[in-house]
Amino acid sequence: MDSSDSETVVLRPGVLGPPVGCPVRWCRSARARRVSLRIDPRAGEVVVTLPMREGRRAGMALLTTHAAWVMQRLAALAPPVALAPGAEVLLGGRPHVIRHDPAARGGAFLDGATIVVSGRPEFLARRVKDFLRAEAKRRIAALAEGHAAALGVRIRAIRLKDTNSRWGSCAPDGTLAFSWRLVMAPDWVLDYVVAHEVAHLRELNHSPRFWAHVERLTPHREAAQDWLRDNGPALLRVG
């Protein structure tokens, strides 16, 4: 059974550098065959995965060896964005300001470049996230239906998830899944990810035939991949 816990570990990024506190999440996994580490951009911490029979000493050795890389990657993360009044979040790649209007009705809705949120303040973050998820589902469904018609394929269902590493996926039964956070990306980036997953309904692989279908559906492949590589981690810092 997998387990995890978090703590702050003191690292020294350089030989002469001062010690720095580093947020670490220790994960013990029955599936792990070796000690590994990765950066979790959403939580803003380094994740050290240990096999069941491996002690933390091995994890500390790996952390110490890669201390400079770990601290550099953590420092490069975009600042977290809380879903609060006055905060700015992207929608379709364009900044929108959250405004709390207790007297308004309708949960959360758009008013130009403003996301207006009604009701009590303690419900604001949840209502903004619900709004973004609903908007993501609406936009993704419209794009997916259009691309599916162009390829002559059938979508069984569309699911929304909140994943750390995959923006979209296609199951063998024809179910497509997407990160709701894609609604914050520019429209052409969303279009590429949706086209990519719909193309898997014809080719459940990454063969030349698959990429030919993607190119047929969208012209944004390379630019969208670059945008997600450069800006995708910042989307995970929202909320």
* Local confidence pLDDT in tens for the 239 residues of the chain: 567 788 999 988 876 668 889 999 999 999 999 999 999 998 999 999 999 999 999 999 999 999 999 999 999 999 999 999 999 999 999 999 999 999 999 899 999 999 999 999 999 999 999 999 999 999 999 999 999 999 999 999 999 999 888 999 999 999 999 999 999 999 999 999 999 999 999 999 999 999 999 999 999 999 999 999 999 999 999 99
Tokens of 139: 């936009």
* pLDDT one-digit tens code per residue, 144-198: 999 999 999 999 999 999 988 899 999 999 999 999 999 999 999 999 999 999 9
- pTM equals 0.85
Structure tokens at 5: 């816990």
Give the containing element (helix H, strand E) for 8.
strand 3-11
Token pair in block for residue 30: 């029955």
List domains and CATH numbers for the chain: 3-75 (no CATH), 88-235 (3.30.2010.10)
Distance CA 170, CA 194 (A): 10
Beta strands 36-40; 45-51: pairing state? antiparallel
Residue 69: count other Cβ atoms within 10 Å of its Cβ. 13
